[in-house]
Structure 1
Amino acid sequence: MKQRSLILCCLLFAVQLFAQNYQKTALGLKTKLQSIDVEVQFYSPSIVRVLKSPQGVAFKKESLSVNKKPQETKFTIQQKGDVVSMKSEKLKVDVDLKSGKISYYTLAGVALLKETESGATFTDFDDAGSKTYGINQLFTLDNDEAIYGLGQQQRGKLSLRDAKINMVQGNTDDYVPFLVSTKGYGLFWDNYSPTTFEDKPDSTSFKSEVGDCIDYYFMVGGNIDGSIAGMRELTGQAPMFPLWTFGYWQSKERYKSQNELVGVVSKYRELGVPIDGIIQDWQYWGNNYLWNAMDFLNPEFPNPKKMVDDIHDMNAHVIISIWNSFGPQTKQFREMQPKGMLLNFGTWPQSGLEAWPPNRDYPSGVQPYDPYNPEARDIYWRYLNKGLFSVGIDGWWMDSSEPDHLDFKPSDFDLKTYLGSFRKVRNAFPLMTVGGVSEHQRAASSDKRIFILTRSAFAGQQRYGANTWSGDVNSSWQSLRNQIPAGLNFSMSAIPYWNTDIGGFFAGAYKKGWGDGTKNPSFQELYVRWLQFGAFTPMMRSHGTDIPREIYNFGKKGETIYDAIAKTIDLRYSLLPYIYSTAWDITNSQSTMMRALVMDFNDKKVVEMNNEYLFGKSILVAPVVNAQYTPETIVKSNEETGWNKNNDANGAKAQAVTFTQAKSTKVYLPGGTVWYDFWTNEKIKGGQEIEKTTTIDEIPLYIKAGSIIPFGPQVQYAMEKKWDNLEIRVYPGTNGEFTLYEDENDNYNYEKGAFSTITFKWNDKAQTLTIAKRKGSFNGMLKNRIFNIVLVNKKKGTGATITSKFNKTIIYNGKAISVKL
């Protein structure tokens, strides 16, 4: 009897011990699994955070990317055998107390993502004298699952399956450790050190060089859009850009005087070619020892205030190059260096002399600053405000925001920053430096929306009013092809604003035997096709070195290449009401402007499609990415070789080419819908590949059935004319909806409700368009306006030309109205 009682007591004690193997918390649970402390926290019903660390080792982690505080979330917790299950109203999380594996499910029990058994590892690591760990976490993916994101890569591929990617920020690679899955979830690996992502048949892993803990977030979104929305909920929403930023931008490396800069805008106005922005590149500060002085010390810029005013008087805007490093003779360098706010490693430029190759006998002494230090960010803004913002500069071109790290030595990672070793926080450099400028400008003024063009990005950067470009890419067809999946993966990393150097940056190879290169047919064809692609990105910006990019360098009106460039710019401006409304959809509803086809179509053929995409939710863009009129030139250069101007010194002149002949290209139209050829209005069933006739001035564009697209007036700049007479094209075949958004264009009053929306709904069965009652108001809002309604068919509303053949002309006064077409 005593023995039986003893056994029963032991069993009860064992059950109690097992039952106490985890601790319920206000956010989730804590437990110890295989010598690892684990905490699972609900940040919302659809977002879960997982923290892991070696048992008993204390750590403190404050995320640089995540600005969401965990919200009170109702959840249940239940144990069955070795598995503890937590359920919110959106997902179920299972923690296996025996194997340590964490698994994620829909409420219906569909498996979304699983860790592998014993998938977390910690390896002792001495990080510049601080004891920490190398960390690794393995997951198991389904064989037929596709994943996207991780920022911008120049791999030329869309899907991340079977990829191994070493994530360290670089000139043309911008890494964001967030991925989305076709199964409807997102995964954010919250670590800033050099990280290797690897997808293999048996596991998918994130392995970071240093980390006091494993820290990742799982979010269920139901689809890719929902997962992106979860990431923005976690790391910040994207604000509205000014309307003028969506117009055409002209730039080059570099305008050498204020007269040249102003003259470019003046020439565009004289020619009647639209332009909204001009960009001043580097060395307006003078020599390299004064690098990034944030002041006009170059005598060719004697009156910067007049320069800015002259540009503004022509209804254009100017942004200017600023860097994340300083020359030794600048005031910033002299103030920061004694305070230990500079990072002493090799960066651009390497010589104090403007020559190539760099003369190492005269080192520039330029050093990046420490943007992790709040006082350093204060100093940075103080000089920026005094030297540039005060004269009316409209925005910032933050170059080398990775930053450039030349002549790399492993010991460079041991350098101390305000937040620890440079190794520990390496990849978050762009987030911190862009964020520093954004937060300071917003605190200084709300009259002008923040606009930052930057070369690198990290998770959460969408909240800072920044548009990232793809770096100093080659002027080659392969590089152009690479830009499409680069931009799409970047967009699926929850950062919606991206662009590229139209024409490619390094173009010296096209000058051989062709003077300045603008008359070389090989470059002309590449440039026009790149421009046509650029018209359907969030920022249309022409830029590069070696060959000038202004339209008048390519010829004159009536000549094929000139006319193709002008036609493309005009098309961009006609779409501004559509583009600006799409931007509001991003800010208001967490949408995405450049959309991989897999985001909108359940069609297996688009899962890895890397040469087509949707611009907004209605326009399918199929850029021409292969040479059709000239031989395809293979060009390879980088930040080192691209600056060697001797490469383009000689060479034979190629034969002249005429661009009048029609060509063709193949286009795949996703299934599940009907499509309309934008240029001809031909109606085509989806789910098939077609042969599309092209000319040098047109690329394949298709409109999804059910789309409603507003077209704006012909203008010379974005805000020249009010949208008081818009063409509204309705593409029938299924029901559709579109919301036209308007506000004051360039301040933050929209955050206070100063905006209006007008929703158009198409009932395909009834052939009726309903224009809803206008919602909201703002200063300067149109009380009455004209909508010219076109029901698109083979005979009416063709192409980009605004036509007078309307089905109905409606005078709209803000009250609801229905139109039978």
Structure 2
Amino acid sequence: MPRLFRYYLWVGLVFSLHLSTFAHANDKGFIKTADGVIVYPSANYTGNTREVRLQVISDDIIRVMASPGKVVPGLLGFMTVARAASTVDWEMEEESDAIVLTTAKLVVKVSKDKGFIQFMDRQGNIIAAEQKVNSRVFKPEVYGGQPSWKIKQDFALSPGEAIYGLGQHQDGIFNYRDQQVFFFQNNTEVAIPFMVSSKHYGILWDNYSITKAGDTREYQAINALQLYSSRGENGWLTAKYANDKRHPENIILEQAVSNIPFEFLGDSKKYLPETFDIANGLINYEGEIASEFSGDHKFKFTYAGYVKVWIDGELLLDRWRQAWNPGTAVLNIPMEKGRKYKFRMEWIPDGGESYLTMKWLNPLPGKNENTFSFDSEAGQQLDYYFVYGRNLDEVIAGYRKLTGKAPIVPRWALGKWQSRERYKTGAEILETVQKFREKGIPLDNIVLDWSYWKEDQWGSQEFDAERFPDPGAMIRKLHDVYHTHFMISVWPKFYEGIPAYQKFADSGWLYKRNIADRQRDWIGKGYVSTFYDAFNKDARKAFWDLVYKNIGSLGVDAWWMDASEPDILSNVSPGKRKEQIGLTAAGIAAETLNAYPLENAKGIYDNARATHPDQRVFLLTRSGYGGSQRYGATIWSGDIASRWFDMKAQIVAGLNFSLSGLPYWSMDIGGFSVEKRYEHAKGEDLNEWRELNTRWYQFGAFCPVFRVHGQFPYREIYNIAPDGHPAYESMLYYDRLRYRLLPYIYSLAGSTYFDDYTPMRALIMDFGADEKVKNIGDEYMFGNSLLINPVYTYKARERDVYLPGTAGWYDLYSGKYYEGGQQIKAAAPYERMPIFVKAGSILPMGPDLQYTDEKPADTVTLFVYMGADADFVLYEDEGSNYNYEKGAYSEVPIHYDAGKRSLVIGDRKGSFKGMLKKRQFKVVWVNSSKPQAFDPSATAATTKIYRGKKILIQYP
């Protein structure tokens, strides 16, 4: 019986019993349990809450459950793997109006009457709290004929508190305080319901339905604003339509509009005038806007094509997205009550189906200014975990305790990946890799994107024999001749009528509504299709058996799991998506929807690992959820646009994703979708295209996964620019630098598993004591040493860099020293991105490589950046299997003592098959009075042979 069906049955039975026994449960209104406490507040004060349960998971993690009926404590969601630990010491005491639960690190107080909760440290300082009044709401709902609850919980924020995490989004917002985050899995949008605070706590919201987080008020249509036409008439804006975007003055139609509703698939065709040529035209919306509120107004845009927005003549928004994949943007505009603001918006749809909406929110009412909420449309009970730590690393460690560790990625996955949309034949793949090897461009992984099957055979998981006559031989040649790994795209999608479809349909493993609707996709003549039910264990196993038999058995190294939202039909509303799915094996779509990518990844990971237990599973998925990291999944940011803003937005997206607890993140370096002006670019367009890719490549070399992908023009270095061009030379430089830094990067991967570390680090993680870093989302630490500062402005040759105040800093390229706590103008020539090294760092450099396993790091150069004590642990293992879980790995601790100016390379701990028994360590000292570039050819001050025993090296 499916887990949620069992749950419904259980709730029905216990709810009826609960009402009759509630008054007799405990005269004091609470019960102490084996792992916590149950409080029975008055439903009159608690938004229909009749039971609140606290469960001690660990000293610093408390689970909170609440229900209008009886809480079911044994119910674990898809995300969580941790249960209450019987070994945790805790105490409970009763106060006049509250129950107090105390662990070694936390004091948790729950009101008896109102059921609201406060989380405090052992000194009694409030860390976080639910709002005291009307903070929790249960509203009955029915979906698919089954009972459910709309659930909302408000938390109180402290002044100045910043909020991060919550997945990966494209709005360019770093600090989500007073903002709204919408949890609906979509291409480029990944929902992870874990928020972290600058006050060193996190909240994991255990719910899988459509959810809003933060400021959860509904965005309103613009007709709720005061609108004025271009002539000053009250009640609407003026829309002017031209059918030739090159001549906007040739207006074919003028209309009064008070709503811009082109949000989902079909809306533009439904609401735009029939005389308007959407493929070639342009619309100008003109007039004035006003509000009866003073303060910051939020304007949210959904857009595709080109959109520009001016307010009082100032251009505030200038974006482009491909017509088939809309993006979102949020403007925070200060407005004065009653004042009119000139408004103009220009929209060039740039396609046959396009998207544009404009909605708004008035300033937060005073009672909501210090509130952060989760608001979910469906669930059987409220369920969240409060996680506390001394720093954000400990908070993220708590998240992984709850949702699972991130396995160490195979070492090759940390090298360079090359991909494009798409290699059309096996010959193209081999020719590409051959050229990389001939030109000496380091490479570890070549990726085959979609449509390698026959046009009408999507879901067969079979190669088109005409274009891929012998895929097994192709993969063997990649492995044996070119020493390159091979990743392939697999979709959970099936065309109606193919044998695999029929088998899954006969077994009841498919969502059938899209079939019933006869909805055709965009391939060729269009084909009717649907997705399989990833919530069904048997379906997951059958899907793996299908892909392994036809593809995996040929030697595939990694799996690219595309469209895993599930994107049954792109750009539909959440309501339509739920309708397409209906009932899953785990329950109604309303309650399970956002967990689909998690279960889809589980199916591949579990079955792949069972099939080849000695081979690390690597997944690249377009969507994920809390817990995706335990399935070896790297999430990438979807089909983003090749534009400067979109590059900048990826910095913030990657940082908040990492702060959500998932350590491995990737993006399409160079962006996926390309404006027409770049397709066969010449002149200035070609110059900009090359510079955009160069800057993006510089940034991408310092992300957890270094992966190039996108539509035409082709994205190989040599296809972007010729040998000798600054773009080519810069990309080659950073590719080689990435490989030289593999001892550093692979050690970060080891720490990510063993210590729950995070490689891509917002400055708030390491420098939280510096108030200035709270809102810096365009620079970050890569590991504990490297400060990365991507350049995201065309023709910029310098950029503002803030050097955090708790450390000194060295310019990587020159070795020049800077004091921390200052903003500088950092040089950013075309070929280089500003990178600084924290004083008190040990940066190991390995050999020059063409692929990660070309040769062992028998010589490692240690660049020691003086000025503070430093530590580094050099981690190594067998690189491609799970023996590290059994203790087969080694660690070499390295410590620099700033007072003694000495370096100690400590005794090696552990061993593994193939481990180097002996290696050379070279030492290059860098200090403020002796600048030294990070140069592979730098002359070492000291060279020592290391055989696993401690070595002391003194600064000369």
State the TM-score, normalizing by the size of structure 2: 0.78
CA distance in 1, matches of 2:884, 2:71: 47
CA contact (8 A) 1:564 1:697 kept: yes
Alignment partner of 1:221 is 2:389: yes
2:680 matches 1:666:
no
1:96 aligned onto 2:96: no
Among 286, 307, 310, which residue is 2:474 paired with? 307
- The Cα of 1:752 is off from its aligned counterpart by 1.0
What SS does structure 1 have at the residue aligned with 2:890? strand
Pairing 1:455–2:622 present = yes
Letter in 2 for 1:546: F
The residue number in structure 2 matching 1:430 is 597
My pick for the range that moved more, 70-79 or 343-352, is 343-352
Taking the TM superposition and a 5 Å limit, the aligned residue runs for 1:580-729 are: 580-601=746-767, 602-628=769-795, 663-729=797-863
Partner of 1:168: 184
| Residue in structure 1 matched with residue 578 of structure 2 by the alignment | 413
Please report how far the alpha carbon of residue 558 of structure 1 lies from its aligned counterpart in structure 2 after TM superposition. 2.1
SS of the aligned residue for 1:561 comes to helix
Cα deviation, residue 69, structure 1? 1.9
Q: For residue 692 of structure 1, report the CA deviation from its aligned partner.
A: 1.4
Distance of 1:783 and 1:213 partners within structure 2? 56
Partner of 1:113: 128
Kept in 1, the 8 Å contact 2:459–2:501? The answer is no
Gaps of 5+ in 1: 1-14, 356-361, 630-662
Q: Report deviation, 1:387.
A: 1.1
1:785 aligns with 2:919: yes
SS of the residue corresponding to residue 167 of structure 2 reads coil
Distance in 2, Cα, partners of 1:262 & 1:518: 33
CA offset at residue 203 of structure 1?
2.0
Q: Does 1:43 align with 2:57?
A: yes
Q: Report the alpha carbon displacement of residue 58 of structure 1 after superposing the two structures with TM.
A: 7.0
Describe the superposition over 1:126-184 as per-residue Cα deviations: whole angstroms up to 9, x where unpaired.
11110111111111111211111000011111111011122111100101010111111
Does the C-alpha gap of structure 1 residues 727 and 552 become closer, same or farther in structure 2, counting only changes over 3 Å?
same
Alpha-carbon contact 1:797-1:805 (below 8 Å) kept: no
Deviations 1:613-633, CA, capped at 9 Å, x for gaps: 00011100001011116xxxx
Contact 1:279-1:320 within 8 A present in 2 as well? yes
Instruction: Go from structure 1 to structure 2 and tell me whether the alpha carbon gap of 1:116 and 1:809 turns closer, same or farther (over 3 Å shift).
Output: same
Shift in CA distance, 811/422, structure 1 to aligned 2, threshold 3 Å: same
- Length, aligned pairs only: 766
Q: After superposition, where does 1:127-146 map in structure 2 within 5 Å?
A: 127-146=143-162
* Alpha-carbon distance change, 579 to 513 in structure 1, aligned in 2, over 3 angstroms: closer
1:815 to 2:949 alignment: yes
Aligned partners of 2:714, 2:497: CA distance in 1, in Å? 31
Match of 2:373 in 1: 205
The separation in 2 between residues aligned to 1:626 and 1:216, in whole angstroms, is 41
CA distance in structure 2 between the aligned counterparts of 1:350 and 1:571, rounded to whole angstroms: 48
Using the alignment, how far apart are the partners of 1:32 and 1:474 within structure 2? 52
Which amino acid in structure 2 is aligned with residue 49 of structure 1?
A: R
Number of the residue aligned with 1:655? none
Partner of 2:674: 507
SS at match of 2:192: coil
1:120 offset after TM fit, Å? 1.3
| 1:553 lines up with 2:719 in the alignment | yes
| Distance in structure 1 (CA, Å) of the matches to 2:926 and 2:71 | 66
Q: 1:373 is matched with which residue? A: 536
Partner of 1:261: 429
- State the Cα deviation string for residues 262-321 of structure 1 (Å, max 9, x = none): 11111000001100010000111111x311321213410010110101110211101000
| Corresponding position: 1:766 with 2:935 | no
Answering whether residue 68 of structure 2 is matched by residue 54 of structure 1, we say: yes
2:166 corresponding residue in structure 1: 150
Q: How far did residue 528 of structure 1 move?
A: 0.4
1:490 aligns with 2:657: yes
State how far apart, in whole Å, the 2-side matches of 1:346 and 1:533 are: 40
Q: 1:775: Cα distance to partner? A: 0.6
Q: Quote the residue 2:290 is aligned against.
A: none
Give the Å deviation of 1:801. 2.9
Q: Which amino acid aligns with 1:37?
A: E
Q: How does 1:225-304 map to 2 (within 5 A)?
A: 225-287=393-455, 289-304=456-471
Amino acid of the structure 2 residue aligned with 1:530 = W
In the other structure, the counterpart of 1:320 is: 488
CA pair 701-71 structure 1, distance change in 2 beyond 3 A = same
Structure 2 alignment gaps of length 5 or more: 1-22, 44-49, 216-367
Q: Which residue number corresponds to residue 342 of structure 1?
A: 510
Residue 747 of structure 1 is matched in structure 2 by: 881
Alignment partner for residue 475 of structure 1, among 639, 642, 652?
642
Aligned-residue offset at 1:813: 0.7
Letter in 2 for 1:413: K
Aligned-partner Cα distance in 1 for 2:486–2:452? 14
Map 1:432-447 to 2 at 5 A. Answer: 432-447=599-614
2:730 to 556, 564, 568: 564
Cα 1:800–1:263 change in 2 (3 A) is farther
Query: How many Å apart are 1:518 and its aligned residue?
Result: 12
Structure 1 CA distance, aligned partners of 2:71 and 2:915?
Answer: 60
Give distance in 2, aligned partners of 1:710 and 1:683: 19
Q: Which amino acid aligns with 1:208?
A: S
Give the drift of 1:669. Answer: 0.5
Offset of residue 363 of structure 1: 3.9
The alpha-carbon deviation at position 37 of structure 1 amounts to 1.2
Cα displacement string for residues 83-129 of structure 1 (whole angstroms, at most 9, x for unaligned residues): 11000111011011122211100111110111113311111101111
Quick one: distance in 1 between partners of 2:556 and 2:852?
18
Q: Partner of 1:34 in structure 2?
A: 42
* 2-structure distance, mates of 1:303, 1:230: 47
Alpha-carbon distance, 1:506 to partner = 0.4
Partners in 2 of 1:297 and 1:757 — Cα distance?
A: 47
Deviates more, 1:447-456 or 1:49-58: 49-58
Give the structure 2 partner of residue 186 of structure 1.
Answer: 202
Distance in 2 between residues matched to 1:25 and 1:721, nearest whole Å = 58
| Distance of 1:367 and 1:17 partners within structure 2 | 49
CA distance in 2: counterparts of 1:666 and 1:423, whole angstroms: 46
Compute the displacement of 1:554 (Å).
Answer: 2.6
CA shift, 1:783, in A, is 0.8
- Runs of 4+ more than 6 Å apart: 15-18, 57-60, 347-350, 794-797
**AA in 1 matched with 2:789:** A
Q: Cα–Cα, structure 1 residues 744 and 418, in superposed 2: closer, same or farther, change >3 Å?
A: same
2:583 maps to amino acid: K
* Secondary structure of 2:394 counterpart: helix
Equivalents in 1 of 2:557, 2:72: separation in Å? 46
Please provide the CA RMSD for this pair: 2.1
| Larger fraction in strand | 2
Deviation at 1:768, TM superposition (A): 0.2
Amino acid at match of 1:316: T
2:212 and 2:376 in contact (8 A); partners too: yes
